[in-house]
Every structure is written in structure tokens, then in C-alpha cells.
Amino acid sequence: MGAPFYPSSPLAIEKMLTLAGVTSESVIYDLGCGNGDVVVAAVRDYHARKAVGIEQNQKLFSIAFRRTRHFKNAIIMNANYDEVDLSEASVVTLYQSASENARLKPKLLGELSEGSIVVSHDFGIPGWRPREFYSFKEGHHTQRVLVYVIGSHTLV
């Protein structure tokens, strides 16, 4: 499942949450939340109504849980995201491989409501056309943020 843990930089997280239009009404689900950086930023900086991080790796789950325990609107789940219902999410964030993103397509389409936003760091979702695309260079690595809208013409 998924990819090895490579944390998103603060700039990448800022771009992901900003391009997704996260507000105090947003419910964020971060699939493979790692150390909880996206969840922390969503509740602390964007005042998301709720941010849920899903992490299968016990060590990373423990780190994310400790980092978010003081935020009443943050939840960290030690689970396989394939087994978690995403229907509550208005925004889903991903930092997975292109093949994992492709595998997740039926789950995203089946569980998310029309108008929900899917934001992917670096890897696109094969066969889907992003509504927005942002590229930036950080160090020696060019990073990408791709934004998709469920139910829109951007899904092909």
C-alpha cells in the first residue's frame, strides 16, 4: 500500500491546502498522514472544522497522534486507508505514487461527494485532468501540487 514516508515540505503543504480552498468549514482526510504535518497545518493554520489523518505505520501513527493530541478538531487513525470511509471529507490530500493514486480512483469516486477536492503532491492521478496545477522548485527538486474536483469535467 502507498509509498515510503517522505514528508511534504511546509511550502508544499501550504500550497496543497491553499489550492484546495481549505476553510473553517472544511473536513480534511490525509491518506497516509505520516507524522501528521498536513493535519496540524489544516487545523492550526487553516482552522479546518476537522482534519483526519490515516496512518498504517505504528511508529508514524504514534508521532502524528502525539503532535495532534492538543487539537480538538484533529483525529489520527492507526488504520489502512482502504478500510476508512471517506464520505465525510470535503478535501482529501495524498502524497502517494502514481500507481497508488490510480488504485485509489474507484474509492475516491465511490465515497466522495460531488465537488469534493482531491489534492495530490508530486504525483498525478492517471486519467484525471487537474483543475489546477502548481509547480515550484525547492532545493534541487521540482515539486508539483495537483488539484482535482470530484464529479467535475476534470475527471476523465
CA–CA gap between residue 150 and residue 152 (Å, rounded): 6
pLDDT number for residue 1: 46
Domain borders along the chain are: 10-149
- Say if residues 32 and 82 touch (Cβ distance below 8 Å): no
| CATH number of this structure's domain 10-149 | 3.40.50.150
Q: Which of 27, 10, 155, 148 is nearest to 87 (CA)?
A: 27
Describe the crossing of helices 37-44 and 10-19 by its angle, rounded to 10 degrees: 60
**What does pLDDT average to in each consecutive run of 10 residues of the chain (156 residues)?**
69 96 98 96 98 97 97 97 97 95 95 97 94 90 94 64
